[in-house]
Structure 1
């Protein structure tokens, strides 16, 4: 068995941003007002949320300035509620910004953001842990990979709204998103009872097939490959997987459009896994 390896997406970040710039520059006035798959956000709202991600990272991690700090955070849900309020406040405040101003700010802050990430040692402790993977402490490489998934899925929300979603499903862009998201699987399955040597195979089907494995030995562990035959395989198409992990599709629809071979109880748990702070 081969364990899942460290993810390095630092170089991809600026390229992903370039795709975003080109996308936003090509939008019409009507496109900016189109509804996205995020119920409360239109295309413009998602764009300014991406801007907020750049600015907050630079302020907190580069400049050590945290501004509004969370108080009375006693649970994961408390943290989610705090972040949701921050996001809503920002989206409301930026209603007055024009698309051109937003694009210019995303470009300038995006460059500074990517330049800052390149200064980080990937194996140092990150300022923020990846909570959705159950970590209380994370390395910078995982934090940056988590940030990649944020940028990826919000850009994809815009692309879906304007009928241009296929680009980010290319393996170059999509594989790092999946590779990061599946790191939540051991934590997500922590309360699923397994028998010794149980193996679940998760296969994502698109232009190519990509698979990861959960193996049970006094707890679940994630592997990138194995010669052992699984006693359950879950097959999910690419255009559904990202929606499952970002809370953009309901469980029933996700299961209906996927396939579970073998032990259904072992396989179906993935369909309520979320790999974002939501």
Structure 2
């Protein structure tokens, strides 16, 4: 990856974490128990998962400690199953913790996580690659941006569940979406097309943007030019985008809310993009 295309998210971690803590402190008992769009998780489960990601990142990346290893995992599907099991066992254990304890731990570990991520060389190899982007090796800045998408996504799930918006802003949402779009070319890895074929994804309103993939020999290349002639263009609203690309909603659920022009097969395939491990 080129230095010019670095997605800068480090400065947003403290802001997003403070907004999370203030949000959680405002919740009633009923809101802690509210169902989120993540079907298996209530609000308290999502907060517990956010704590898990802090603790795992600090343990593995900062301290070099891997408690459960993945040597026997031989496919993407096996990796997803492994991670789903980690998530489930953690959230089940955290049912024993009070909201106040979760908030205390999230505040403390969130600060430590920001400090650690800032200490990394952004262009050195990360501990793990970002698999949903199809990468075998990822640099630290991109893995940090991936971590940012986790923080944004799960906080937005909580806000969506309790009706308390606040982070769907250009400052916070656009870097989340910009990172998610690294799954766009990987989604088309098996799709054949003529060279220079363009597929465009446009997320509407001032907090969105335009992303394209261009066929170049045996690969698709991501760019953000706005003057390309696309074979297929998909326009989608911000609130639908984060739910669709995190696999919370399916393409079938959103198809009537999406504006699609050009090659329908290419456009519908763009809706298959998933930018999380799922």
Regarding TM over 0.5, the answer is yes
Residue deviations 1:162-182 (CA, integer Å, cap 9, x gap) = 0123x2211111100110001
Q: Gapped runs of 5+ residues in structure 1? A: none
What is the match of residue 53 of structure 1? Answer: 53
Asked if structure 1 preserves the Cα contact closer than 8 Å seen for 2:208 and 2:238, the reply is no
Q: Distance in 2 between matches of 1:33 and 1:154?
A: 15
Residue deviations 1:146-195 (CA, integer Å, cap 9, x gap) = 00001110001100100123x22111111001100011111110111111
Asked if structure 2 preserves the Cα contact closer than 8 Å seen for 1:47 and 1:102, the reply is yes
When the two chains are superposed, the root-mean-square deviation of aligned CA atoms in Å is: 1.4
Q: Distance in 1 between matches of 2:184 and 2:228?
A: 19
Deviation at 1:226, TM superposition (A): 4.7
Higher relative contact order (CA 8 A, sep 6+): 1
Asked if structure 1 preserves the Cα contact closer than 8 Å seen for 2:36 and 2:160, the reply is yes
- Tell me whether 132-141 or 221-230 shows the greater mean CA deviation: 221-230
What is the match of residue 23 of structure 2? Answer: 23
Change (3 A) 1:4 1:266: farther
Residue deviations 1:210-260 (CA, integer Å, cap 9, x gap) = 101111121210011153322221101001000111111011122221011
User: Structure 1-normalised TM-score?
Assistant: 0.96
What is the match of residue 159 of structure 1? Answer: 159
Q: Distance in 2 between matches of 1:65 and 1:216?
A: 41
Residue deviations 1:45-101 (CA, integer Å, cap 9, x gap) = 000100011111111111111112235201111111111111111111111111001
Q: Does 1:204 align with 2:236?
A: no
Superposed counterparts of 1:1-278, under 5 Å: 5-165=5-165, 167-218=166-217, 219-278=219-278
Structure 1 residue runs of 4 or more that deviate by more than 6 Å after TM superposition: none
